[in-house]
Structure 1
Amino acid sequence: MSQPNRVTLDIQGHIAHVRLNRPDKHNGLDMPMFRQLIQTARKIEKSRDIRCVILAGEGASFCAGLDFSAIAKQPSMAARLFLKWPWQKTNMAQEVAHCWRRLSVPVISVIHGNCFGGGMQLILASDIRIAHPDTRLSIMEIKWGLIPDMSGTIHLARLTREDIAKELTMTGRLFSASEGAEYGLISHVSSEPMAHAEALAAEICAKSPTAIAATKSLFDKTWQVGSWRALFWERWTQARLLGRKNQRIAMQNGLAKDKPAKPFLPRN
């Protein structure tokens, strides 16, 4: 039996539009959606033509979190969420969010409606988060006697203060997009979040894809490590960029005042 189409992928030029596609359930996460989110991220990673991802949700909400009723109907399948084999670094629950952080290209989340629990952890794993002013957010796992277990804790540590992270996680309270921006969890609040994301993605795609991927990798490696280790990764990353084809193209385009910009090559 074929799986329902829980996640859609639409590639427009160099931008991959990924949408959670369960609008009748406010894009609640069930097992097919877990699998398809991971499969979609892997498909994107294999493409050297994709330079940016926009992650959004169909219908009235981005994602209302885990669909407990659907998961409860498949207890044996649900157990796979927490199973980690020795050769894996993440279990399935962690991988469904963390796979977007590991992508070589930047991921922009477009958020509207409700963004609770697992949905919140999905956006925390993205690189940039753009929310509609009416968005409602919550780290809701405490309501079920749980903790954020979809890699949310490591991404919270990158984005906000420890006391804020503890308060939001321990209370599970609802907060607004503007509050999220104040806490460092939302990058931009916009009345037209998709248009904002598409304009930003186009701006990113106009730059060297090799340098963009290197920037994401460098920041992910160094943002919260000791200064000596960060300096090493900075030197190593720059050495891999200098003199490469896309770096030379960027130099030529930067020096050419009136000539048409030369297109960049796929990242290597």
Structure 2
Amino acid sequence: MSDTPRLTCDIDDNQIATVTLNRADKLNAIDMAMFQAVNQLTKRLKNDKSVRAVIVRANGSDFCSGLDVKSLLTNRNDALKLLFKWWPTLPNDAQRFSIGWREIPCPVIFAIHGRCWGGGLQLASGGDFRIASPEANFSIMEAKWGLIPDMGGALAFRELMRQDHTLEMAMTAKVIDADTAKEYGLLTKIADDPYATAYDLALECINRSPDILAANKKLYHRTWWSSPGKALCLETWYQIKVALGKNRAIAARRERTPEDKPSYTKRQFK
């Protein structure tokens, strides 16, 4: 195993965290060390109230070529560790690789270039936004290896794509281009410089209260497929919580005095 860290994470003066996949020599293919690094980082970012937005990008020619099949499928113990669950409805380590980003209470933006295949696509589908370069391409690649997508794809793909498009990609392992991926709903935007565009979007988001960013994310993740009653209940409850917070008053002052904007306090919404 290489001593090179699988991820780097840098937080700048705007409290925007840039996470970089760092296995360029293997096209950022996902091995056990990559699973562990991502899952540890998402837990840490989830609990860091000072982080305002997260951007995920990759070093090298490709965002992520998918699973490191040689590394993982030849090691039965690693495969069992990834699939093991304490309870059937709780995520295992393979699924946390994608859905862990959903639990971070701030915007998570993926900046994608080159190949985004298999587990790489499921990883990116766990974010709130996906911005890709025009030459990027995408595939639910698991069918090539006689497998199904099992890293949270059952959640993410149903929210992003029509069922027939998801089935077509999962059953054929076909590769689609960026325009098709945007048509299918997998992409938010296509941009020549995905990271710069992602950073501009992050700046737009952090101009707003960190509490409303967290509340909106939690509200729509919890109610997108819920009953109308639950959606209306949580909408009211979360509104009360953010309205009583310090950042609601700060947001109002920022709008009234744009020439002298006070800074927001750290996120309080849970």
Category of TM-score, reference length = shorter chain: over 0.9
Q: 3-state SS of the aligned residue for 1:27?
A: coil
Q: Tell me the equivalent position of 2:10.
A: 10
Answer yes or no: is the 8 Å Cα contact 1:130–1:197 preserved in 2: yes
Q: Tell me the equivalent position of 2:33.
A: 32
Q: Tell me the equivalent position of 1:265.
A: 265
Q: Tell me the equivalent position of 2:177.
A: 176
1:83-140 per-position Cα deviation (integer Å, ceiling 9, x unaligned): 1113981111101111011111111000001000000001111100000000010011
State the distance in 2 between where 1:228 and 1:143 align: 42
State the distance in 2 between where 1:74 and 1:7 align: 22
Report 1:1-268 matches (<5 A).
4-13=4-13, 14-86=15-87, 89-257=90-258, 259-268=259-268
1:9-46 per-position Cα deviation (integer Å, ceiling 9, x unaligned): 11112101111110000000000110000111111112
Displacement, 1:168?
Answer: 1.2
Residue correspondences, number: 267
TM-score, normalised on structure 1?
A: 0.96
State the distance in 1 between where 2:247 and 2:149 align: 40
Q: 3-state SS of the aligned residue for 1:264?
A: coil
TM-score, normalised on structure 2?
A: 0.95
State the distance in 2 between where 1:227 and 1:105 align: 25
Answer yes or no: is the 8 Å Cα contact 1:31–1:71 preserved in 2: yes
1:210-238 per-position Cα deviation (integer Å, ceiling 9, x unaligned): 11111101111111222111111111110
CA RMSD of aligned residues (A): 1.6
Q: 3-state SS of the aligned residue for 1:203?
A: helix
Question: Percent sequence identity over matched residues?
Answer: 39
Answer yes or no: is the 8 Å Cα contact 1:108–1:127 preserved in 2: yes
Q: 3-state SS of the aligned residue for 2:67?
A: coil
